[in-house]
Amino acid sequence: MKKRYLLPFVLFALTACDKDFLNQEDPNGVAIENYFETENDVLLAINGLYQGLRSGNTVGEGSTLFNEERSDNTGRNDNQSAAGEPFQFNDFAILAGNTYLKSHWSDMYNAIARCNVVLTHIDQVAFTGEELKNRYKAEAKFVRALLYFHMVRKFGDIPLSIEEIKDKAQADAIGYRQKEAVVYQQIVTDLTEALESNIPDTQHEYEVGRASKAAINALLGQVYLTMGATATDNKQENFIKAEQHLEASYGMRNFGKLTEIPYEDVFDVAKKNTCEELVFQVQYLQGNNRFSSGIARNYQARGETINSQYESTGAGQVVKLDLVKDFEANDKRKDFSIKFAASPQVNDWFVTKFRDVSQAAGTAGWGGNDWILIRYADVMLLLAETKLHLGKQTEAIALLDEVRQRAGLPGYAVAMQDAGYKEKYPTLKDAILHERRVELAFENHRWFDLVRNYAAEELVAYFNQKDQADYGNAKLSNISTKDRYFPIPFDEHKLNPEKMYQNPGY
């Protein structure tokens, strides 16, 4: 694993020449060891951590390739030429040499390295008060935990680094895959320590787009839920802790019932800084060609104008017919989230959930959509899933019903009297998983929901029972138990085949 010494606010100069007349500092760069001097230096570094989340190669809006397109929600039908590598993700035909996967791995570790640099050097800065320092530490640990949580669920055993890598020997020493349990323990440690700071309860009490105790608790609750559902040890203990932290996050909301917040408001660009359902989001700057969001224009299909003023010539973000059919009759979320594009060149469903038709975004489509990573409907349904594991079915149904009520749907008890609903979702587990699918569609949760609820063999069976006609050009028959995890990128594996062993089946 190669360390890249990059942060958005500085270019670090590295010199390795023995000649004195060449052994000079770059006047246009600042070495890491000389950078951290003031509180403001640390603040700029923390801002750099959040900037690292904006990339589609990490967890920003373009990262749907590694999540939604891996699931049964979306996926491109074009498998020709340059589209061949992206098509591999949805086709369950991904190769270890896939360059998109390599970029994802590399950029995720680059983002993690930024966190490590901050945490390595922050104590050398004299702060006017320890509370601010501890708050910055909490933010760095939250971001690092978030990144590792994404990586461990996608790749399984992965290298684990929690300090700045300063030389090749140090990089070689940590360049091996550690067991999932070890990675999860570090994630728990980071988030638990972050909660011990004075970081505000919500982002609205701090700053929109920054970590908060509500976000930390929500993430830690999901971590414990995932550990309980997928690990063999301490399942009950993990579920209890998941409930504790998800309840804590839910208790920090600044509204009563979810029905107080219209579904459309959650994605309204004009309300992204005030919507109380949003717990944590990656921010984009409307009208700016460098820092704007492209999701509205990129998801829009040819001949359509609902997402953006940008005139699209493509198919947008294609929705699987399998998902279209999963929306219940009268579900308000369907008409807001998806639309059928009648253009002969498209003739398919596309995503309309993310919109910015403002004059500020203009015909170039420089939108202001933030990429939502955590919101309260997500927290509520995770909590419902957790309570089901703990045998608290009544409490789980109450949370499920509140989400359904906002969507204009009947409660679970009434829905189960409908033969069609009962056949499709015979258990409460099925009902909660279904609700997460339609509520959180296209928000990068679906693949993680599937691998949390289905073991590898069950995942294969789940996809095999689907109708190929509802799935597009990607072949359902390709899936096997190996697809529970991504392959380790070939370049990483070949550097040390023993320590960076490949996942089975690749």
**CA-to-CA distance for 145 and 183, rounded, in angstroms?**
9
**CA-to-CA distance for 489 and 493, rounded, in angstroms?**
6
| pLDDT tens sequence across 348-395 | 999 999 999 999 999 999 999 999 999 999 999 999 999 999 999 999
Reported as type and span, the H/E element at residue 373 is: strand 371-375
Contacts of 133 (CB under 8 A, 6+ apart): 42, 122, 123, 125, 127
Please say whether the beta carbons of 369 and 278 come within 8 A: no
pLDDT higher than 80, residue 448? yes
With 0-12 CB in 10 A as exposed, 13-18 as middle and 19+ as buried, what is 27? exposed
256 DSSP 8-state letter: S
Strand runs (DSSP E) across 272-327, as ranges? 278-282
Token pair for 165: 């890598």
**What local confidence, expressed as pLDDT, does residue 242 receive?**
98
| pLDDT tens sequence across 135-152 | 999 999 999 999 999 999
What is the model's pTM? Answer: 0.93
**Sorting pLDDT into bands at 50, 70 and 90, what band is 25?**
low
Please say whether the beta carbons of 217 and 252 come within 8 A: yes
| pLDDT tens sequence across 86-119 | 999 999 999 999 999 999 999 999 999 999 999 9
Q: Mean pLDDT across the stretch 457-484?
A: 97
**What local confidence, expressed as pLDDT, does residue 18 receive?**
39
**What local confidence, expressed as pLDDT, does residue 83 receive?**
73
272 DSSP 8-state letter: T
Domains and CATH numbers, the chain: 1-199+454-506 (1.25.40.390), 284-366 (no CATH)
**Sorting pLDDT into bands at 50, 70 and 90, what band is 33?**
confident
Please say whether the beta carbons of 500 and 493 come within 8 A: yes
The DSSP string of 322-367 is HHHTTSPTT-HHHHHHEEEE--TTT-EEEE-SS-B--TTTTTTT-B
pLDDT higher than 90, residue 181? yes
| pLDDT tens sequence across 261-302 | 999 999 999 999 999 999 999 999 999 999 999 999 999 999
**Sorting pLDDT into bands at 50, 70 and 90, what band is 11?**
very low
